[in-house]
Homo-oligomer: A and B are copies of this chain.
Amino acid sequence: MSLDPRRVLILKDVIEATSISGAARALGWTQPAVTHHIGTLERSVGMPLLLRRTTGVIPTQAGKALLAHADAIASHLAAAEAELEEMRLCKAGTVRVAAFPSALATLIPHAMTRIHKDSGLKIRLTEAEPDEAMKLLHDDDVDVAVVFSYSDTQPTDISESFDRWTIAMDPVALLLPPTHPLAHKEDLHLTDLADDAWVAGCPRCREHLVSMAHRAGFEPRIDHETDDYVVVQSLVSQGLAVSVLPMVALAAYRNEDVVVRDAPELTGRRIDALFRPGADRVPSIAAVLGALTNDAV
């Protein structure tokens, strides 16, 4: 027969109180209740654990042996309780976050300083483009994936399997070389740049660019490709091409030799924090999500 851990702990109380009724008082119970527990415990081990005296009880050898283990069990329970309490207060624990580069340069640092200020949470950051970040999330390599998505791209099946908190809407801006003839044209439209050379970013961004161009009525001539927003601005500043970049990327790095313009045809992207369904009820993860959304400007 198997030992009931609760009764083992009751035995510990009894031995420490040196009497059954003493333990009962300490537990806020009546004496027969404790007597009954000890009785069933003894029946389950098949021998007496206590010798009854009119002055109280004294443990047998078996009782002493069991007491030693009971102490260990009680310690572990107490330690677990303390640890969980710390977690509940976000004093401990690590939340693993994956984010795309420009978010890592802008949104995340704000959120991290806020979290460090009012909790003891540790954050482990991983740089990853959205698709990779979602894979990390799926494989339980991260707890939160900060991703972006364009409204004109189909949501992938994997991205749908997560819950999301939307952090921010991130508008997209046009980038022109200062020397570009239309750099300062009023009422600038996308079609004005139908014949220009373009720099495209990552596959998703390229797709978004093409999609916007199609809606405006032309096929963009994409001469260069890079997902590095510093390189994009560098190419533009030297007059080699025009391009688009999200404002968050521009907030992360801004080349002064680039003219930033808006155009009515431009559609933005949405920045989401993804997490495994239900994970937002875990306090530490909720704290990170909260810090991220509050930081949105």
* A278 interface neighbour in B46, B52, B62, Cβ under 8 Å: B52
Query: When the two chains form their complex, are residues A51 and B3 in contact, meaning their CB atoms are under 8 A apart?
Result: no
* A65 interface neighbour in B51, B83, B143, Cβ under 8 Å: B83
Interface size class of A (residues with CB under 8 A): 35 or more
Tell me, rounded to whole Å, the shortest Cβ–Cβ distance linking A121 to chain B: 11
A47 contacts across to B, CB distance below 8 A? 84, 87-88, 281-283
**With A and B bound together, what is the CA distance between A88 and B284 in angstroms?**
48
Tell me, rounded to whole Å, the shortest Cβ–Cβ distance linking A39 to chain B: 13
Query: When the two chains form their complex, are residues B51 and A278 in contact, meaning their CB atoms are under 8 A apart?
Result: yes
A76 contacts across to B, CB distance below 8 A? 69, 72-73, 76
**Is A230 among interface residues, defined by CB-CB distance under 8 A?**
no
**With A and B bound together, what is the CA distance between A62 and B83 in angstroms?**
9
**Is A228 among interface residues, defined by CB-CB distance under 8 A?**
no
A5 contacts across to B, CB distance below 8 A? 5-6, 9, 73, 77
**Is A226 among interface residues, defined by CB-CB distance under 8 A?**
no
**With A and B bound together, what is the CA distance between A48 and B279 in angstroms?**
8
8 Å CB interface, A260-288 against B: 276-279, 281-284
8 Å CB interface, A5-49 against B: 5-6, 8-9, 45-48
* A61 interface neighbour in B77, B79, B284, Cβ under 8 Å: B284
* A80 interface neighbour in B61, B69, B94, B283, Cβ under 8 Å: B69
Query: When the two chains form their complex, are residues B81 and A3 in contact, meaning their CB atoms are under 8 A apart?
Result: yes
**With A and B bound together, what is the CA distance between A70 and B76 in angstroms?**
8
14 CB contacts below 8 A, A to B, read: A5-B6, A8-B80, A48-B281, A58-B140, A61-B87, A62-B88, A62-B93, A65-B80, A66-B80, A69-B76, A69-B79, A69-B80, A69-B83, A76-B76
Nearest first, the 8 closest Cβ-Cβ pairs linking A and B are A5-B5, A69-B80, A69-B76, A72-B76, A45-B84, A51-B278, A46-B88, A48-B281
